Amino acid sequence: MARDNDRKHRAVTTFQRRILNPVMRRIPFQTALETTGRTSGLPRRTPVGGRRVGDTFWLVSEYGEKSQYVRNIRANPRVRVRIGGRWHEGTAHVLPDDDPVARLRTLPRSNSAVVRLVGTGLLTVRVDLDG
């Protein structure tokens, strides 16, 4: 099972990094999370699905602690989120005690279905947006 999950993770992340993400990052209204690279210090933008609720943005990482953006958040929680074409600054929090499957039920269905389908280590992330 672990070997299958590793294979699935490698296949999906290769597709996302090389094909899907470069295209999605260019779509102005695609929701994106910008973290600071923990090694390079450079901005790293990742298309994400999620939902803004008041001054909070919620998302579920498909690969949890294996996700590069989760590792970047652990190193520096200051992030930006592009919602509806507009950037918002905030502080991200990784929430291992939150139920990511239940959280997905509150997020947009199309993204949630994909996260459930390809994900192997779901993890909730909350971004507290600045003012």
73 pLDDT higher than 70: yes
- Give the contacts of 53 (CB within 8 A, at least 6 positions apart): none
Rounded distance between C-alpha atoms, residue 126 and residue 20, angstroms = 24
14 pLDDT higher than 70: no
Rounded distance between C-alpha atoms, residue 36 and residue 56, angstroms = 20
Q: What pLDDT does 3 receive?
A: 72
Q: How confident is the model at residue 22 (pLDDT cuts 50, 70, 90)?
A: low
